[in-house]
Chains A and B, each alone.
Chain A
Amino acid sequence: MRSFEYTSARSIDEALAGIGPDAKFLAGGTNLVDLMKGDVEKPARLVDINGLPLADIAATPAGGVRIGAMVRNSDCASHPLIRERYPLLSQALLAGASPQLRNMASTGGNLMQRTRCYYFYDTAFDRCNKRVPGSGCAALEGYNRIHAILGASSQCVATHPSDMAVALAALDAMIELLGRGGTRRIPATQFHRLPGDTPQLDTNIEPDELIVAVELPPNGFAQRSHYLKVRDRASYAFALVSVAAALEMDGNTVRTARIALGGVAHKPWRAMEAESALVGRRLDATAIERAADASVAGAKPLHDNAFKVALAKRSVARALEVAGGAA
């Protein structure tokens, strides 16, 4: 880790005033500090935002819920409003990391965690377009069992590690950002980016913007949703594949469906075609199979991760079965 300057912001204005090139906001630090230890992130200055008044969860007049950016993952997962209205989010949060990490990790910080890739995290590998744009991608021809099967580019095949963000993508969450120019809101599905030719950018946030809240719209999914995480050990491991599935039903017929996948792409992967394949149909084996197929349409596996295509399909099917009450 390199030496850096540390300041603690006492207000949101102070936080925004303190940010700039070479500076980073410090929330739970569960990812940023690791990256600094590995010499991957080298901020000259950290602006600590742990003291900011952004740690509330409240119902919105529209019937949704607003989650402050500094709400800890464990608090969010156990909050009555979240458990009651968005059990999918609660499940996803609890599937992430370990209790110790969830106690530190914040809602905003979870969204800001960098993508997962061995070659990004170890600076001894000289090729990584994320760390050194233009240097190449060591994972493409390297060991890529944990890497992307969807939406990757020849520049980067890393995957987004968050569980929470997968649920937020499925739940049509809005991310509220505050910058010197004011407030803007972007859908969770558009917050993270695909790598394209600019894999160094994980998100669409501007460098001088602060995440202040995540807002969840009201929905009818609370009774029928499921977060399935498949990983290399029973707990405390990133997803090989995860699925957030949510359904609204009219009897046996699907009225609305939401499907998002984690561990398969550079961002939480919302499977819109799979959702469309279900709407208006009976939730039977055929419909589930069709949705599962659609969810991995266009998948391009790498040398070591071909298994993820079948795994993703079967995981979507399983998550729909559980959400629909069939399993």
Chain B
Amino acid sequence: MNGNGMIGDPLTRVDGPLKVAGRAPYAAEFDVPGVAYGVMVRSTIPGGTIASIDSRVARRMPGVLLVMTHENAPRLPAKGRAAVKPPAGREMSLLQDAAVRYNGEPVAVVVAATLEQATDAAARLDIKYRAADAVLDFDQAKKDPKPAKMQRGPAEKKWGDAQSALERADVKVDAVYTTPMEHHNPMEPHGTIAEWKGSELTLYDATQYVSGARETVAKTLGIPPEKVRVVCPYVGGGFGCKGSAWSHVTLAAMAARKAGRPVKLVLERPQMYGPVGGRPQTEQHIVLGAMRDGRIVALRHEVLSHTSVFEDFTEPSTQPTRALYACPNGETVQKLAKMNVGTPTFQRAPGEATGTFAIESAIDELAYALGMDPLELRLRNHADVEPSSGKPWSSKKLRECYEDGARRFGWSRRSARPGSMRDGRWLVGWGVATATYPAHRMEAKAVAIMNADGTFTVRSGTQDLGTGTYTICSQIAAETLGVPVQKVRFELGDTRFPKAPVSGGSMTAASVGPAVRAACLALKERIDAGGKAPLQAEGSARPPAEEEEKKTHAERSFGALFGEVRVDPELGILRVPRVVATYSVGRILNAKTAASQFQGGIVWGLGMALMEESVLDKRTGRIVNANLAEYHVPVNADIGSIEVAWVDENDTGFNDIGARGIGEIGITGVAGMVANAVFHATGKRVRSLPITLDKLL
């Protein structure tokens, strides 16, 4: 079913035919005449300095145009640190000095006429290092925890009096949960083509944030932002790792200027494990106190997450704990463990993906300690207001989610005792968890144009990560203008278009959607006033308050997850044949792309639960499994039935299209649900992700 294209209809993605035909150009596919090929060379020690780089052999090789190292790289303002301002601007490796801060850090760029020549020459650099001590073991780093700073909210948040409430509690759970270092692995690797025309720079860049990349590269190079254009019509997956303009983007621009030719720099898959972020490792200590009737009276959640030695990034795993359950006394605190690794970053559902594993496992443990059904325990502690702030929700229908999910899954048929459900050789376990992700939006702008041929063009400098932005913005425009969706062409991914925020934090639909609506309303007004084509109108939308403290309501999405696992008790093999989920996320803009977002998120959640882990060699700081053969993500055979649904909701208190954004909530809660189901199947509580078979033997 294709739908007629109004908001909510399951319209097939408008960019789909281009993509399946291979006619949707991704950043590295733009045909730029005279382009040369850059290859990034990376350090092989975790800390110290470069003693020497002998590039004589490389420079003499056929086709080689440039070997750029810290010895000859252009000197940048503030040593390349002029634009450090997350999410776009990060601490980069721009060849400004001889320092090496992690294994795999960019230390040179080789440019040649062909990719083959550049790759060959890159392997011939002879680099000598002076090694220094490096911190490569999380357990060592955590002995000296550093204060953290969260993107949103304080790193330490307390409400009520958790300590005395814990002392009064009838039942306690006190456990430590860990999640490993992970990496995003979008299908499309990071890539940039940099082309200078005089003082003007065009970047074709795989990015979640065209205007952020422009600001970052311009400031870093010390040129005006209006001299930089960033183009990115399609993204082959971002998941957070393309939200920042990492080193290779600026390095491509530097190399292109120095080589006097456009330069294309695409990262190789192993180069995506370090220089472009990843999910931080976490250690999460949770203490829960409850009364016999199941009321949770105290909770404590202490999170330690790793970051690099040169930039602080905090994985905000305590975020969900501050919002999930109606507990009057809470203490949540975040700290950092600094290591000689690449700086981690936002990874799909930053905070919630890792945090919900811990809190949802702990809630399950509490349910068993109380002898209570884990769904019943969640219902008894439903948060009618945000517990840590006391603010009312803009809209929340979690109770309906629990009810709908439980009914569709058949939860009432669950036998409570662990190990009590079997199917032949297989132990069967059923688990439940709550999904959640905050609702974010930021200011966005758009322009709507009525063309002479009766069609409409709507533009915004936003991005489509493969999620469906083209499609839903076309639907919003069509409905607002009162025309069929086929009459609307939506364009994005260009800094020449009106500015939009980073496509991160699940906020594109919630931010750009209202801007598209505003532009179309303004255009409609002009049309109604008798305006003739070509006619255009601009529109913008922004939230009433951006700072948490100024908001009158708490804004957050929720969901209920139910799943079945099967465990082969002798071989430890774990399968997840069935997941049922129901979400409360505000208004659904497109039933088809929404279902894809939820399902895709759940698939990744299963990957996180079962297999994903980047393993750091503790002696060299090198990630040993930095490729898709050894870093496992789920394949089709790992995925069974995933049935997603949502409750009818329209959160007009959040924005005028009533939608809260759904890019990230799908992954949340899944790992906790799986761990809970594994306990139900086997009686084994696995508190350390991923749940590989050796943990079940």
Contacts and interface: CB of A to CB of B under 8 A. Distances in A.
A142 interface: yes
B120 A234 contact: no
Nearest to B43: A124
Contact of B123 (A2, A122, A314): A2
B634 A233 contact: yes
A119 B620 CA distance: 11
Contacts of B602: none
B215 to A, nearest CB: 34
B529 interface: no
Interface in A111-137: 118-119, 121-122, 124-126
Contacts of B620: 124-125, 138
B208 to A, nearest CB: 28
Contacts of A318: 570-571
A262 B93 CA distance: 43
A125 B635 contact: no
Given A142-B617, A230-B573, A234-B635, A240 B693 contact: yes
A238 B630 CA distance: 9
A230 B632 contact: no
A233 B635 contact: yes
B636 A235 contact: yes
A201 interface: no
B694 interface: yes
Contacts of A39: 123
B692 interface: yes
B645 interface: no
B575 A143 contact: no
Contacts of B622: 122, 124-125
Contacts of B693: 230, 232, 240, 307, 311
B693 to A, nearest CB: 7
A310 B626 CA distance: 28
A260 B620 CA distance: 35
B550 interface: no
A236 B635 contact: yes
Contact of A233 (B103, B117, B632, B697): B632
B271 to A, nearest CB: 12
B18 interface: no
A315 interface: yes
A314 B632 CA distance: 24
Interface string A189-231: 0000000000000000000000000000000000000000010
A317 B694 CA distance: 17
B697 A232 contact: no
Contacts of B270: 122
B610 interface: yes
Given A234-B638, A314-B571, A318-B570, A124 B119 contact: no
B12 interface: no
A42 to B, nearest CB: 9
Contacts of A314: 570-571, 697
A62 interface: no
B44 interface: yes
Given A142-B617, A314-B570, A122 B697 contact: no
B297 to A, nearest CB: 40
A252 B570 CA distance: 24
Interface in B566-609: 570-573, 575
A233 B611 contact: yes
Interface string A1-18: 111000000000000000
B44 A124 contact: yes
Interface string B48-85: 00000000000000000000000000000000000000
A126 to B, nearest CB: 8
Nearest to B634: A233
Most buried by A among B270, B571, B611, B625: B571
A311 B571 contact: yes
B21 interface: no
Interface in A230-263: 230, 232-238, 240
B697 A310 contact: yes
A141 B617 CA distance: 10
B95 to A, nearest CB: 19
Interface of A: 1-3, 34, 39, 98, 118-119, 121-122, 124-126, 138, 141-143, 145, 230, 232-238, 240, 307, 310-311, 314-315, 317-318, 327
Given A1-B120, A118-B624, 14 more contacts: A1-B123, A2-B120, A39-B123, A98-B635, A124-B104, A138-B619, A143-B615, A230-B571, A232-B611, A232-B693, A233-B611, A234-B575, A235-B636, A238-B629
26 contacts: A1-B116, A1-B120, A1-B123, A118-B630, A119-B624, A121-B627, A122-B624, A125-B620, A126-B44, A138-B617, A142-B624, A143-B615, A230-B693, A232-B611, A232-B632, A234-B635, A234-B637, A236-B637, A237-B632, A307-B697, A310-B697, A311-B693, A311-B694, A311-B697, A314-B571, A318-B571
Q: Which 9 residue pairs of A and B lie closest in terms of their CB atoms, listed nearest first?
A: A234-B637, A118-B624, A235-B637, A307-B694, A124-B44, A234-B638, A314-B570, A236-B635, A2-B120
